[in-house]
Amino acid sequence: MLYQINDVTVMVGGAKILDHIHFEIHGTEKIAVVGRNGAGKTTLLKLICGDLTPDRDDRRQHPGIIAARALTTGILRQDVFKDKSLVLEEYLHSLFGRENSFLPEMYAFERDFDRMFTRLGFSTEDKNKKLEEFSGGEQTKIGLIFLFLQKPDILLLDEPTNHLDMGSLRWLEEQIRNYEKAVVMVSHDRFFLDQTAQVTYELTRGQFVRYVGNYTEYRKQKRKNIEIQNKAYERWQTEVNRQNELIRRFKNKPKKAAFARSRKKMVERMEKVSRPEPEESHIFTGEILPLNRGSKWVFQCEHLKIGYDRPLLELTWRLRRGQKVGIVGPNGAGKTTFLKTVVGKILPMEGKCDIGNEISIGYFDQHSANISSEKTVAGHFHDLFPALTQKEVYQTLGAFLLGGERASARVKDLSGGERARLVLCEILQSRPNFLVLDEPTNHMDIPAKETLESAFSAYKGTILFVSHDRYFISQVADALLIFEDGEASFYPFSYEHYARRKYEDSGDGQTLRARMDAQEAAMIQEFRDVPKAERHMETVNTEEAYMDWQLRLAREQMEQCRAKTQQLWRQLEIQSVEQWKIFGSGGSWEQAGDEKEAYEEALLKWQEACEQWYEIYCQYEDCREELYGKDSDTTESGIYY
């Protein structure tokens, strides 16, 4: 145990922020701390670094904070530097003192600083600038460099990803993973937490709950725990109701009064099972279907040049029905301009673009949330959809975290994130078959983002969107459109796949696009058996590559569901035999209980996976027919059968 907080309470301004908390750091753990804004995450960091001390507590009979040894801490605050009038070179030397400028330690420190400084895009001349002349993101980078070079035993990071570009984020993730000591970090960047965290603490109602794993693993475990606790609560509630019914039936019968009293005592002695707190986010379990499917090709463009005064880029591309494509690239690359061109708000500078037949667009841009009304949220929504009952209005709003008291609030009093959710709720309720979204999660907290991720995953139409939230992109997009260096390229794989390829060292100086052309073409050729020489393609077709990848993923999912179903069936068979041995012919599936329920759920998922695979298979055949004609051999070795 490196560090432990045990039964500590912290009051700030008369308000109890942390309530008898328990928090531990083991060895060199990389710990993520998550929770709603204002829950006390930053307070915890201040407590660890000594800016705050535990409140006196007569109930606690032991030290509130225990450390294995004398520990050093270093913290990256949201306001990185206090005195920003200093020149960076002066600040660097002030850490050792002018009299120690020629020590070997100072030389090594400055050498390592220069290496990291230039690695993050600075020039050596930038060391002569004052700290206040650097932007907020640049100050964060410099602060991170100093922290990593000082190597404290516990490194504390408060929102370290704010204002960092993609390259800097990648550098930071590598530094944390390779850091030889403990790290505790607070961040809303879930992709960053997935890449770095080994342990996740959730802070809720002043208490910490420890989960082993990164952010995604924590979310899976929490949902599993809620399901288990829900079932336990339901079983307890059923048993209590059954016993109370027996008590009610027999308490007034003289011959059964003793039986009723014993049952009452038994109920009183039963350990109470509390109902689990509901998820802050809403998970959509059903499908969100458009009113009509629309044409197979939702959007097509040929030699399309987009821009205002000058062309930003040119692309030829088409979007298939059902695809969910995220657009990534640096600021100013033309992402928003392209979306506006797609929906017709901006005319093409050159080339042509077309929306498919019977395509209805739901468009959300960065100004869509600027709605204001004196009406309540429920009244505003009902006026837009008068066919809905009041119950349906509240249920629909509740699915987007706008139920209860928020439904009775005036629209103009909602926060920016809440207004954005209201507009997105309106768009999805109108059930278009093509969503065009520009930064839909801006100003939203994590539960709101997870709600939208679930909604867009359940949506069965086509989505084209721009987002800077890497986790959101990874959860929603099944392909990417990359805008970079004045060029556009379609990447028919997931965001994680793209991130790995973008930053891996090819050893020969090749760009991502060149490596993708060579490596993905080779991979697709491994999937396909093409006996006829005239069918060989020198470069992989992006549409076919996309369908190949989708089909392979669907096949893997189908096989996993089949294996799970067979495993549960074998368990049921074994259990039925054992029950038959014990109960004779009285053994039945009714005694299987949870096992039967698990089997039936797995069987349903297997059926759904089979249907999903078949739908993609049909789309794949359509794609092959369009590319090679009706007589083409579409059978792939190891893919279909």
Confidence band (pLDDT; 50, 70, 90) for 581? Answer: low
Look at the pTM and tell me if it is higher than 0.85.
no
SS (H, E, C) 41-74: HHHHHHHHHCCCCCCCCCCCCCCCEEECCCCCEE
- Give residue-wise pLDDT tens across range 409-428: 999 999 888 999 999 999 99
Provide the 10 A C-beta neighbour count for residue 209. Answer: 15
* Domain spanning 297-504: CATH 3.40.50.300: yes
The token duo for 194 is 């997935």
Q: What percentage of the chain carries pLDDT values higher than 70?
A: 85
pLDDT of 249-287, one tens digit each? 888 888 888 888 898 999 999 988 888 887 888 889 889
CA pseudo-torsion sign 136, 140, 145, 146: positive
Contact 91, 82 (CB under 8 A): no
- pLDDT mean over 433-453: 91
Whether 596 shows a pLDDT value over 90: the answer reads no
Inter-residue contact 137 to 165 (CB < 8 Å)? yes
Give the CATH number of domain 3-219. Answer: 3.40.50.300
Polymer length of the chain: 641
Position 614 confidence tier, pLDDT thresholds 50, 70, 90: confident
Q: Name the strand (E) or helix (H) holding 427.
A: helix 416-429
Q: Does the pLDDT at position 83 exceed 60?
A: yes
Question: How do the domains of the chain map onto residue ranges?
Answer: 3-219, 220-269, 297-504, 533-628
Q: Are 413 and 376 in contact (CB under 8 A)?
A: no
pLDDT, position 436: 97
Lookup result for tokens 């509630």: 237
Average pLDDT over every residue of 605-625: 77
Is-same-fold flag (3-219; 297-504)? Answer: yes
Res 550 pLDDT > 80: no
Predicted pLDDT of residue 518: 52
pLDDT digits (tens, 9 = 90+) for 9-48: 888 878 888 988 999 999 999 999 998 777 889 899 999 9
Inform me whether the pLDDT recorded for 585 exceeds 50: no
Alpha-helical regions (H) of 151-214: 166-178, 190-196
How confident is the model over 144-187, as pLDDT tens digits? 999 999 999 999 998 888 778 778 888 999 999 999 999 999 99
Share of the chain above pLDDT 90, in %: 44
In the chain the first and final C-alpha atoms are separated, in Å, by 53
Closest CA relative to residue 170, chosen from 444, 485, 410, 502: 502
Residue 432 has pLDDT above 80, yes or no: yes
Q: Which residue has the higher pLDDT, 182 or 598?
A: 182
Where does the pLDDT of residue 530 fall: very low under 50, low under 70, confident under 90, or very high at 90 and above?
Answer: very low
Instruction: State the pLDDT confidence band at 235, using cuts at 50, 70 and 90.
Output: very high
The pLDDT, as a whole number, for residue 532 is 38
Alpha-helical runs (H) found in 479-593:
495-503, 512-527, 542-583
pLDDT confidence of residue 38: 78
**Averaged pLDDT score across all residues of the chain:** 84
